[in-house]
Amino acid sequence: GTALDAAFFVGWMTAAAAAIDREAERLTELDSAIGDADHGTNMQRGFAAVVKVVETEPPATPGAVLTTAGRQLISSVGGASGPLYGTLLRRTGKTLGDAAQVSAEELRAGLRAGVEAVGQLGGSAPGDKTMLDALVPAVEALAASFEAAAAAAEEGARSTVPMLAKKGRASYLGERSIGHQDPGATSSALLFAALAEVAK
Ligand code: ADP
Ligand code: MG
Ligand code: MG
């Protein structure tokens, strides 16, 4: 299979930041319906910080790129999504260890550990109308291909529309959270779209 090196992961973070920039208004709009209208700006601030660090001081290994990125998200994003995405990337990076290159299957195992850590931190599970509704199916589908993972994340994000939010700010709305797509699930789909893009 493909060997993914540190440069691939820097490319992933850069592509993710660009996708978030393109979709920032939409993310904030989704968050204005069921949250506090800051998800786009939170993600932009976080990923701008990530790109700045990984491009000026490129970490030597895939694991180090992701742990560095996760740390930046935790320190630069005030909202719930900062610690959650920060934990996702940090735990994934730690699971990859200090290998100079990783396989797609190793990345999938790392991401699975990362997604589990998000659920632990958030006390959340698929069906709660959160980022996990995109992340969990994406990691499953990564067994097939990067494109399948991106498609599964997108479908997972759309699947949050009829859900009742059980975690995060959207849960304060109760029934009124129904009928809106979760902002965090939408940004998770962007992360997997960026991954598929760099893997091409
Ligand atoms: P905040 O809600 O603090 O303003 P953001 O708007 O940046 O933070 O992020 C909101 C997103 O975070 C939600 O759309 C949801 O996907 C995700 N989220 C919030 N709480 C949880 C949780 N407990 N578990 C998983 N994801 C969560
Ligand atoms: Mg918000
Ligand atoms: Mg907020």
Residue range 143-156, pLDDT digits in tens: 999 999 999 999 99
**In this structure, what CATH number is given to the domain that contains residue 178?**
1.25.40.340
Ligand 1, atom 26: closest residue by C-alpha:
130
For ligand 1, say whether the CB of 133 is within 6 Å of any of its atoms. Answer: no
User: What is residue 1's predicted lDDT score, i.e. its pLDDT?
Assistant: 66
Domain count, the chain: 1
| Residue 5 three-state SS | strand
| Residue 44, domain extent | 3-199
**C-alpha to C-alpha distance for 59 and 57, rounded to whole angstroms:** 6
Q: Determine if the pTM surpasses 0.95.
A: yes
Q: Quote the CA–CA distance of 77 and 145 in Å, as a whole number.
A: 30
Q: How many CA atoms lie within 13 A of 78 on its CB side?
A: 3
- Protein residue with least CA distance to atom 13, ligand 1: 184
- Give distance in angstroms: CA of 185 to centre of ligand 1: 9
Q: How far apart are CA 64 and CA 98, in angstroms?
A: 7
ipTM value, please give it: 0.99
Q: How far apart are CA 53 and CA 158, in angstroms?
A: 32
CA–centroid distance, 132 to ligand 1, in Å, is 10
Query: Do 52 and 87 contact (CB within 8 A), yes or no?
Result: no
Ligand at minimal distance from the CA of 36 is: 2
Q: Which tokens go with 58?
A: 């490129």
The residues that bridge with 5 in the sheet, in sequence order, are: 101
Q: 140 C-alpha vs ligand 1 centroid, how far in Å? A: 22
* Residues 104-139: tens digit of each pLDDT: 999 999 999 999 999 999 999 999 999 999 999 999
Q: Which ligand is nearest to the CA of 184?
A: 1
Ligand 1 in reach of 122 Cβ (< 6 A): yes
pLDDT-based confidence at 2, cuts 50/70/90?
A: confident
CB of 70 shorter than 6 A to ligand 1: no
